[in-house]
Amino acid sequence: MKILVAGVGNIFLGDDGFGVAVARLLAKRDLPEGVLATDFGIRGVHLAYELTGGGHDRTILVDAVSRGGPPGTLYVLRPTAGEAPGTFVDAHDMTPDAVLALADTLGGTGQVLLVGCEPQDVSPGMELSPPVADAVPRAADLVLELIQEQIAAAPAAAGRQEERT
C-alpha cells in the first residue's frame, strides 16, 4: 500500500504553516514502507498532480482548518472534491478543496483524509502560535495512527474485493 502524507500551508502566515511543520516532523521519523511524508507548502498544482499520478492508495492532507474550536484542536475529516469541510485557513495558490476538485477532474484522488488543526493566528510571521506548535507532535502521532489503521484495513479490503470476483 502506498500512502502520501501531504503537509500544506504557507509558512509565512503563522499557524497556516501547521501542515508543513507536521510533514517535516514526520519526514524525520521512521515511516512504514510505502509511506511518503512531503511538504507541499503552497504548491497546490503539484499536489493535485501527485494525487492523480503518484499511484497512492491513500492520501492524508495536513493543514490548518478553522472549524470554530479552541486553537490547537485537531480534527480528522474526510473531504471530497467540490465539498470543503469547513473553512480552510490558508493563502495557498490553490486551497485544499480546489486541489481535490482539480485532482478529481484529472482522474480521481482515491481515499483522502484531512488532519486539521484549529489556528489561532494566521497573520504574517513565521512562528506557530503556542497552542498550534504544541499540536504538531500530537498531529504527527495522529497521522501515524491513521496510517496504521489504513495499513491494517488494506488486507481486509483486498480480501473482500477478491471474494467478489
Give me the pLDDT at residue 143, please.
Answer: 98
The C-alpha atoms of residue 5 and residue 87 are separated, in whole angstroms, by: 20
Query: Is the confidence at residue 59, as pLDDT, over 70?
Result: yes
Give me the pLDDT at residue 41, please.
Answer: 81
* Mean pLDDT, the chain, whole residue set: 80
Reported as a pLDDT band with limits 50, 70 and 90, residue 111 is confident
- Kindly report the CATH number assigned to the domain that includes residue 79: 3.40.50.1450
**DSSP conformation class of 125:** B
The C-alpha atoms of residue 13 and residue 40 are separated, in whole angstroms, by: 15
Three-state SS at 53: helix
Angle between helices 44-53 and 96-105 (to 10 degrees): 40
- Its domain, for residue 45, covers 3-164
Query: Is the confidence at residue 64, as pLDDT, over 80?
Result: yes
Percentage with pLDDT > 90 across the chain = 52
Query: Is the confidence at residue 62, as pLDDT, over 90?
Result: yes
Mean pLDDT of 134-149: 97
Angle between helices 130-164 and 18-27 (to 10 degrees): 70
In whole angstroms, how large is the CA radius of gyration of the chain?
15
Percentage with pLDDT > 70 across the chain = 71
Query: Is the confidence at residue 17, as pLDDT, over 50?
Result: yes
- φ, ψ dihedrals at 80, nearest 5°: -130, 160
Cell, residue 109: 484522488
Q: Render pLDDT for 67-96 as a digit per residue (tens, 0 to 9).
A: 999 999 999 988 755 544 444 434 344 455
Mean pLDDT of 17-28: 96
Query: Is the confidence at residue 145, as pLDDT, over 80?
Result: yes
Query: Is the confidence at residue 7, as pLDDT, over 70?
Result: yes
Q: Render pLDDT for 112-138 as a digit per residue (tens, 0 to 9).
A: 888 999 999 999 999 999 999 999 999
Q: Is the dihedral of CA 124, 125, 129, 134 positive or negative?
A: positive
Cell, residue 101: 476538485
Give me the pLDDT at residue 48, please.
Answer: 67
Specify the number of domains making up the chain. 1
